[in-house]
């Protein structure tokens, strides 16, 4: 899984495109995930490597908590996408200002919904976990499938 990180200047995102708004001077990487063994672990490693490179090469501070939570969010979103959607999954990571945005696209048009609290339920808490740790969260219907986007602050307490 070879993600390519590049600094790009983005034009404002039109309303309804699914991102949280216009941002400039961002760092990003994208990976296509095929669901093979090790794919989810690879996505977590890609996320950790991406944020480490953002710190090292671009001087953008990232807290250890955000590093851990970003990998958790990626793991949960990619797991859900691979479990519930046929075909490949796209993982897109980008740093925007003081946040990292994690977007996972899959081909299933069904919109996920968090389940009610149930202390007896084993598993199936991924969406609730993502929503609890993300500062912003959206699910966007796409022409094919959907995109789930979570944004986390790079530093604690922002």
DSSP 123-154: S--HHHHHHHH-SEEEEEE-SSSEEEEEEEES
Say if residue 137's pLDDT is above 60: yes
Q: Strand 89-96 relative to strand 136-141: parallel, antiparallel, unpaired?
A: unpaired
> Percentage of the chain surpassing pLDDT 90?
58
Q: What is the pLDDT at residue 18?
A: 36
pLDDT bracket for residue 121 (50, 70, 90): low
Q: What is the pLDDT at residue 35?
A: 85
Q: What is the pLDDT at residue 13?
A: 36
Least confident residue range of 97-111, 114-128, 133-147: 114-128
Q: What is the pLDDT at residue 133?
A: 93
* Average pLDDT of the segment spanning 58-82: 95
Q: Which of 38, 12, 20, 5 is nearest to 147 (CA)?
A: 20
Q: Which of 103, 105, 102 is nearest to 85 (CA)?
A: 105
Say if residue 14's pLDDT is above 90: no
């Amino acid at each position: 899984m070879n993600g390519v990180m590049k600094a790009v200047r983005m034009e404002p995102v039109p309303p309804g495109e699914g991102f949280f708004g216009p941002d400039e001077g961002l760092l990003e990487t994208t990976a296509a995930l095929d669901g093979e063994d090790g794919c989810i672990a690879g996505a977590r490693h890609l996320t950790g490597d991406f944020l480490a490179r953002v710190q090292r090469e671009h001087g953008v501070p990232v807290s250890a908590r955000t590093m851990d939570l970003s990998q958790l969010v990626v793991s949960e979103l990619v797991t859900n996408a691979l479990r519930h959607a046929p075909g490949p999954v796209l993982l897109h990571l980008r740093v925007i200002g003081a946040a990292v945005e994690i977007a996972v696209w899959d081909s299933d048009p069904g919109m996920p919904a968090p389940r009610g609290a149930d202390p007896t339920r084993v598993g199936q808490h991924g969406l609730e976990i993502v929503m609890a740790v993300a500062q912003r969260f959206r699910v966007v219907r796409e022409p094919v499938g959907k995109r789930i986007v979570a944004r986390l602050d790079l530093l604690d307490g922002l």
